[in-house]
Amino acid sequence: MSAHDNSAPVAQPTSFAFTPENLKKAQAHIAKYPPGRQASAVLPLLDLAQRQHDNWLPRAAMDAVADMLGMPRIRVYEVATFYTMFNLKPVGKHFFQICTTTPCWLRGSDEVVAACKKKLGVGIGETTADGQFTLKEVECLGACVNAPIIQVNDDFYEDLDGVSTEALIDALKRGGKPPVGSVKKRQTSAPAGGPTTLKDLSFAGGKR
């Protein structure tokens, strides 16, 4: 249910204000739209607010955006509850969005989910007690060629399986930042064992 439940144990901050540099960015977004159409900037501003506020949007931030854009607050709540990329509850430092849509599922996303649950001891939609990790199941992230995938905050980790998922979690726990992209080290979405075509590049002077 998306209704705001005051009894939920979410500590809402009482106020929210953009930092000076974010305020400048916000004004730049607003300036993109003609006068009287400021409301168009609601999505970038909510995103900016979420990034500033530990990757989740408190009510105060939605209100601040509404007041800034001169739109009724309910209109901002509608937008923020519609888009799944806005988190309306606090999330962990590492926000795991695990894709389980058909291509990822066929390539073993069940294993990835199981590895996350086992390693972190929390279920989908939950946050670890230390506030480091949140698991979320999402629909297609659009990187099916390198399935299965987890999006950690803004970074994609691809070609995962159970073992590499656990290794990823370990690395993050140690405070490291594993290289983004395919964990099998393939170049973007080129074939896993290296190129299978265009091996002879003599026609282009032999250079890759």
Partner 1 sequence: MPKLTINGKAIEVPAGTTVLQACQQAGFEVAHFCFHARLSIAGNCRMCLVEQEKAPKPIASCAMPAADGMVIHTDSEKAKKARHGVMEFLLINHPLDCPICDQGGECDLQDQAMAYGFDRGRYIENKRAVKDKNFGPLVATSMNRCIHCTRCIRFATEIAGVEDLGATGRGEDMEIGTYIERTLSSELSANIVDLCPVGALTAKPYAFVARPWELTKVESVDVLDAVGSNIRVDARGGQVLRVLPRLNEAINEEWISNKTRFALDGLTRRRLDVPYVRKNGKLAEATWHDAFGAIAARLRGVSGPRIAALAGDLADCESMLALKELMAALGSPHLDCRQDGAALDPSCRAGYLFNTTIAGIEEADVCLLIGTHPRWEAPIVNARLRKRWLQGGFKVAGIGAPRDLTYPVEWLGAGPETLADLVAGNHPFAETLKAAKKPMLVLGQGALRRRDGAAVLHLARTLAEGAGMAREDWNGFNVLHTAAARVGGLDLGFVPQASGRDTAGILSACEKGEIEFVYLLGADEIDMKRLGKAFVVYQGHHGDAGAHRADVVLPGAAYTEKDATYVNTEGRVQHGRRAVFPPGEARDDWTILRALSEVLGRKLPYDNLRALRRHLVEVNPVFGRIDETPRSAWGKFGQDGRVEREPFAYPIADFYRTDPISRASPTMAECAAQFGAGARTGTHG
C-alpha 147/C-alpha 87 separation (Å) is 24
Residue numbers of the site for partner 1 (CB under 8 A)? 1-4, 6, 59, 72-75, 77-78, 81-82, 84
For partner 1, the closer CB: 69 or 183? 69
Chain center to CA of 4: 22
Nearest CA to 138 out of 201, 172, 91, 208 is that of: 91
CB closer to partner 1, 6 vs 197: 6
Output the DSSP codes for 140-170: --S-GGG-S-EEETTEEEES--HHHHHHHHH
Which residues are paired to 96 by β-bridges? 135, 152
Measured from the CB atom, is 50 or 182 closer to partner 1? 50
Residue (67 or 170) nearer to partner 1, CB: 67
Least distance to partner 1 from the beta carbon of 86, Å? Answer: 11
CB of 6 to partner 1, least distance (A): 7
